A = this chain, B = another copy of it.
Amino acid sequence: MSKKRVYLFEEADGKNRLLFGGKGAGLADMTKAGLPVPPGFIITTEVCKEYYENGKKLPEGLMEEVLEAMKKLEEKTGKKFADPENPLLVSVRSGAPVSMPGMMDTILNLGLNDETVKGLAKRSNNERFAYDSYRRFIQMFGNVVLGIPHEKFEEILDHYKKEQGVKLDSELSAETLKKVVEAYKELVKKETGKDFPQDPYQQLEMAIRAVFDSWNNERAIIYRKLHNIPEDYGTAVNIVTMVFGNMGNDSGTGVAFTRNPSTGEKEFYGEYLTNAQGEDVVAGIRTPQPISKLAEEMPEVYKQLLEVRDLLEKYYRDVQDIEFTVEKGKLYMLQTRNAKRTARAAVKIAVDMVKEGLITKEEAILRVSPDQINQLLHAQIDPKAEKKVIAKGLPASPGAASGKVVFSSREAEKRGKEGEKVLLVRPETTPDDIGGLAAAQGVLTSRGGMTSHAAVVARGMGKPAVVGCEAIKIDLEKEQFVVGDVVVKKDDVITIDGSTGEVILGEVPMIPPTLSDELKELLSWADEIRKIGVRANADTPEDAKKAFEYGAEGIGLARTEHMFLGNRLPLVQEMILAETEEDRRKALDKLLPVQREDFIGLFKAMQGKPVTIRLIDPPLHEFLPPLLDLTVEVEVMKAKGITGKELEEKEKLLAVVKRLHEFNPMLGFRGCRLGMVYPEIFEMQVRAIMEAAVAVAKEGLPVKPEIMIPLVALESEMKVLGELIHRVAKQVIEESGVNVEYKVGTMIEVPRAAIIADKLAKVAEFFSFGTNDLTQMTFAFSRDDAEGKFLGIYREKGYIEEDPFEHLDAEGVAELMKIGIQKGRSTRPDLKVGICGEHGGDPKSIELCYILGLDYVSCSPFRVPVARLAAAQATLKHQKKMEFVDRTA
């Protein structure tokens, strides 16, 4: 085979991380840039693949290539591998194309044996250093290559420390270390039946194999699964000349970031230890010094480091995380890579770098993940805080919250309004719980998925939520929950982390949310770039104001039913219980002015941006007590012999609840079906919307109402209700003499609506995909039931890759959307198409929406900044493709 398998650092192409791995690429880049990198070479990831394809055999001829490269190292260093006089030592390190920190193996000080250790001692003039290095090498090699448990070496070390009456490894003398070495070698012999390999060449080959093997150790496999890293990438092997930071006070080792990875400030940030090796920094034996101190201790080296920092940032155009060693006053660079950073730092760095001319706005946008934006918008648990995690549920709504546990919404509402910090804990929530949710700091449920009622409402409110936490067993009667052997009673304080799903005992310190100027600037660039609009789902003027503040370009979904709760509930119940159309109209007449005020508030908050209002959607029985509770009440009263008016009234109510009861409310009598059977309800709502619009217009303010019909499945529904809306709207306009432009559109949330979209578009001027329900019906998944029953298990076992309620299902639901969009636009080419399901705030789904050719996404106010960034990223990601590919194809 003529394929080159081994590359000296100066031969490798740092841009080809797939071939050389991240670490190797960085070392190659630095070498070529003339930075002081210890001589070394890379065995490519291709070799790793060959190794596995060959049944874990090194390809023929590989070791010959390696030895040739070793010769080059010998030439450069003047040392000789396996030479007892002046031995060349190397480290053997893994280096995958994508960073997998700590997942794979590294061996240092390779090349030491009973002979070369003496040479090292002599050359370094430091016998203790030489035997400590040898001891460490045997331990590392024994563990990584030979598979001997770490603890067995530690036992030996402990034995000698006790024997010598010392506490630290570094206090052991050269003589004792020699004994440790002997004991280690005996251990190796005992465990493997063979002597510790004395031949450095054999050591080298074994180490290379061990690195390849580590690609498939269990923790690496799990890490790759978690981070979606392809299994077939493989790892490269880096063989680097050892340098030593522990050769005296003119030596040292450190790590540094080219900017502050926590705040993003442009300052050289890091720490170092003099007379130490990398391990010692990690071990925390001595406290490292801040990097600025190096300016005093080794001003030359510090100056050199600053130059390196400059050069690397310019080269990589990103913040670097570097490792260096100083050996006897000489600086060596051992690693450079893009630095991990906090969300806050990510934003600041991206924006600063644009201003410094280092990167473009487009690059800045791609540098920050939507998830990071999300983190910035919610209170977070202080990462430094100690916490006792007692359970983990689904991270349904980001942010953290602490409060006294309360098991009833009514109590949460009462105490919350009185200013107490309470946390609502329920098996699940219903629209009845809205008041409690609003007043609580956060919500924890034992049932439901990412789009369960609690999750959706909490996200809408920007309130932390952990849902579907099945580990906690709630006992509503005793007002407590149990998890394992921990019992949490009412008024005990807990903390939930809605970004991780953690449930924590007691109160934990928090970091407040910040919406920095840099973030605002970054998002304004995102707005310039993105080709897809961002609206918000908001039901109240408060939400609308928040949405506007966060940059929403309109309201994509205002749910009117949320306006039917609280003190309006009695009116709504009166309407439902009405036995004649006349009585129903009377109740509706009382609701009309209330709804009108709601809409005036929404319109004003949005300052003339379009406001899409969905007519009432849920089944009427949601506004009455649950059948089960009421039946039990009545039967218990009877059993207790209670009679009289109270029972009679309850029985009367029960009769209505029974009549309205449905086996499958999701597929039931709701949405436009209500409007078809009780047109007076929709008439009232349309009148309230239009009267509100007229009132706002009369004040000289701009207003753009868009009236949306839910749950349409038939052409006749669109036709009949479209006519109803136009009729009432025209009436209001005529009565008032004020002309307000409005639009009529429909949700597409029933599969059939997508299929007959061409017919619906005859009347509908816009479509809004209700992907929550569309997902439920396309999959036949009930979002209230699926998670706890089977969907959780499906995800766990890999039967389904993602929760389709979290990320839009590209294979199924999006296919239906595609049909709906194509058919809809075939009738009405300028049809406006949006999405207002929970997916509207999910970056992955936003990308899919962009590909599908949607005009806008709509999400909860707190997701608006996330969506703005994600929309810009989608545009950038597909910009090139878009030149060749039809966006809707």
Contacts and interface: CB of A to CB of B under 8 A. Distances in A.
A270 to B, nearest CB: 47
B750 A782 contact: no
Nearest to A635: B632
A888 B667 CA distance: 30
Given A714-B799, A752-B779, A780-B777, A785 B632 contact: no
Nearest to A776: B667
Contact of A785 (B628, B668, B776, B809): B668
Nearest to A640: B639
Contacts of A794: 676, 714, 716
A666 B780 contact: yes
Interface stretch (A432-440, A540-548, A657-665): A657-665
A704 B180 CA distance: 74
Given A636-B639, A785-B664, A794-B676, A713 B755 contact: no
A816 interface: yes
Total copies of this chain within the assembly? 2
A827 interface: no
Contact of A665 (B663, B811, B813): B663
Nearest to A629: B631
Contact of A756 (B663, B782, B812): B812
A667 B668 contact: no
A790 B816 CA distance: 26
Contacts of A789: 662, 668-669, 673, 677
SS class, residues of chain A in contact with chain B: helix
Interface in A680-718: 711, 713-714, 716-717
Contact of A628 (B628, B640, B750): B628
A515 interface: no
A592 to B, nearest CB: 24
A784 interface: yes
A391 B452 CA distance: 43
B793 A677 contact: yes
Interface in A612-643: 627-628, 631-632, 635-636, 638-640
Given A639-B640, A751-B751, A812-B756, A663 B782 contact: yes
A793 B714 CA distance: 14
B673 A790 contact: yes
- Which of A665, A720, A789 has the largest number of chain B CB atoms within 10 A? A789
A815 B819 CA distance: 11
A51 interface: no
Interface in A768-796: 773, 776-782, 784-786, 789-790, 793-794
Interface string A804-835: 00000101110110000000000000000000
Interface in A324-345: none
A800 interface: yes
A632 B713 CA distance: 37
A759 B749 CA distance: 24
Contact of A662 (B638, B755, B782): B782
Contact of A639 (B639, B717, B776, B815): B639
B664 A756 contact: no
A719 to B, nearest CB: 9
B668 A666 contact: no
Interface band, chain A? 35 or more
Contacts of A784: 662-664
Given A639-B640, A663-B782, A793-B677, A816 B755 contact: yes
Contacts of A812: 713, 751-752, 755-756
Contacts of A639: 636, 639-640
A813 B773 CA distance: 18
B750 A780 contact: yes
A785 B800 CA distance: 31
Nearest to A662: B785
Contacts of A799: 676, 714, 716-717, 720
Contacts of A677: 789-790, 793
Contacts of A816: 751, 755
Contacts of A714: 794, 799-800
A848 B812 CA distance: 25
B664 A667 contact: yes
A711 to B, nearest CB: 7
Given A639-B639, A677-B793, A777-B751, A667 B782 contact: yes
Contacts of A800: 714, 716
A664 B628 contact: no
A798 B714 CA distance: 12
Interface in A576-631: 627-628, 631
Nearest to A637: B639
Given A639-B639, A669-B790, A799-B676, A713 B631 contact: no
Contacts of A815: 755
A751 B713 CA distance: 14
A782 B668 contact: yes
A636 B638 CA distance: 9
Nearest to A638: B636
A811 to B, nearest CB: 6
Nearest to A759: B811
Contacts of A782: 662-664, 666-668
A720 B794 CA distance: 11
A782 to B, nearest CB: 4
Contact of A751 (B778, B786, B790, B793): B778
Contacts of A711: 780
Contacts of A662: 782, 784-785, 789
A589 to B, nearest CB: 24
A720 B793 CA distance: 14
Nearest to A793: B677
Given A631-B628, A635-B635, A815-B755, A666 B665 contact: no
A744 B46 CA distance: 42
Nearest to A799: B716
A711 B632 CA distance: 34
Given A663-B785, A751-B780, 11 more contacts: A639-B640, A663-B665, A663-B784, A667-B777, A676-B790, A677-B793, A713-B779, A714-B799, A716-B794, A716-B800, A755-B811
18 contacts: A640-B640, A662-B782, A663-B782, A663-B784, A664-B667, A666-B667, A666-B780, A669-B789, A669-B790, A714-B794, A716-B799, A720-B799, A749-B780, A750-B779, A751-B777, A751-B816, A752-B780, A777-B778
Q: What are the 4 tightest A-B residue pairs by CB atom distance, in nearest-first order? A: A667-B782, A664-B782, A752-B812, A669-B789
